[in-house]
Chain A
Amino acid sequence: MKKQYAVSLLVTSLVVIALAAVAGSGRTDNDIPAPPTIGTVIDDFKLPDADGKEHSLKSLAGSKGVVIMFIATKCPVSNAYNDRMEKLAQDYKAKGINVVGINSNNTEPAGEVKSHAAEKGLTFTILKDDGNKIADRLGATRTPEAYVLDANMKLVYHGRIDNSQKTEGITSEDLREALNEMLAGKAVTKTGGAAFGCTIKRVS
Chain B
Amino acid sequence: MRLLLSIVLAVAFGVIAAQSQSSQAPSSNTSQNGALAGVASDITVVDLDGLKKLLQRDPKEARPLLVNFWATWCDGCREEFPDLVKIDDDYRTKGLSFLSVTVDELEDKRLAVSFIQEMKAKMPVVLLNVADKEPAIHTIDMNWDGALPATFIFDRTGAVVYRHFGKIKPEELRAAIDKEVSRKQ
Q: Are B5 and A17 in contact (CB under 8 A)?
A: no
Of B146, B149, B164, which is within 8 A of A28 by CB? Answer: B164
Of A21, A171, A195, A202, which is within 8 A of B131 by CB? Answer: A171
A115 at interface, CB cutoff 8 A: no
A187 at interface, CB cutoff 8 A: no
Q: Known contacts A6-B1, A199-B165; decide if A26 and B172 are in contact (CB<8 Å).
A: yes
Tell me, in angstroms, the Cα distance from A64 to B129 when the chains sit together.
38
25 contacts between A and B (CB under 8 A): A13-B5, A16-B12, A17-B12, A20-B15, A21-B15, A23-B19, A24-B19, A30-B164, A30-B165, A74-B75, A76-B73, A141-B147, A142-B146, A142-B147, A160-B134, A163-B132, A171-B131, A171-B132, A194-B138, A195-B133, A196-B133, A196-B146, A198-B76, A198-B147, A202-B166
19 extra interchain contacts, Cβ-Cβ under 8 A, other than A142-B148, A164-B132? A3-B1, A9-B9, A13-B5, A13-B8, A13-B12, A17-B15, A24-B15, A26-B169, A26-B172, A28-B164, A74-B75, A160-B134, A172-B132, A194-B134, A194-B138, A195-B133, A195-B137, A196-B71, A196-B148
B138-179 Cβ-contact flags toward A at 8 Å (1 or 0): 100000111111000000000000011111010010010000
Question: Which residues from chain B contact A164 at a C-beta distance below 8 Å?
Answer: 131-132
Question: Which residues from chain A contact B172 at a C-beta distance below 8 Å?
Answer: 26, 28
Q: Known contacts A17-B11, A24-B22, A159-B145; decide if A199 and B131 are in contact (CB<8 Å).
A: no
Question: Which residues from chain A contact B36 at a C-beta distance below 8 Å?
Answer: none
Tell me, in angstroms, the Cα distance from A199 to B80 when the chains sit together.
13
Q: Are A13 and B9 in contact (CB under 8 A)?
A: yes
Shortest CB distance A50–B (Å):
22
- A residues near B (Cβ < 8 Å) are 3, 6, 9-10, 13-14, 16-17, 20-21, 23-24, 26, 28-30, 74, 76-77, 141-142, 145, 159-160, 163-166, 169, 171-172, 193-200, 202
When C-beta atoms are compared, the residue in chain A nearest to B163 turns out to be: A30
Question: Which residues from chain A contact B35 at a C-beta distance below 8 Å?
Answer: none
Q: Are B19 and A77 in contact (CB under 8 A)?
A: no
Of A145, A166, A193, which is within 8 A of B134 by CB? Answer: A193
Of A21, A23, A199, which is within 8 A of B149 by CB? Answer: A199
Q: Are B144 and A29 in contact (CB under 8 A)?
A: no
Tell me, in angstroms, the Cα distance from A171 to B132 when the chains sit together.
8
Q: Are B148 and A197 in contact (CB under 8 A)?
A: yes
Of B16, B18, B164, which is within 8 A of A29 by CB? Answer: B164
Q: Known contacts A17-B11, A20-B15, A28-B172; decide if A195 and B134 are in contact (CB<8 Å).
A: yes
B103 at interface, CB cutoff 8 A: yes
Shortest CB distance A51–B (Å):
27
Shortest CB distance A5–B (Å):
10
Question: Which residues from chain A contact B11 at a C-beta distance below 8 Å?
Answer: 13, 17
CB-contacts of B78-125 with A (<8 A)? 103, 105
Of A30, A159, A160, A199, which is within 8 A of B148 by CB? Answer: A199
Of B22, B137, B166, which is within 8 A of A199 by CB? Answer: B166
Tell me, in angstroms, the Cα distance from A164 to B130 when the chains sit together.
10
Question: Which residues from chain B contact A197 at a C-beta distance below 8 Å?
Answer: 146-148
B74 at interface, CB cutoff 8 A: yes
Shortest CB distance B3–A (Å):
11
Q: Are A142 and B145 in contact (CB under 8 A)?
A: yes
Q: Are B165 and A194 in contact (CB under 8 A)?
A: no
Question: Which residues from chain A contact B167 at a C-beta distance below 8 Å?
Answer: 199
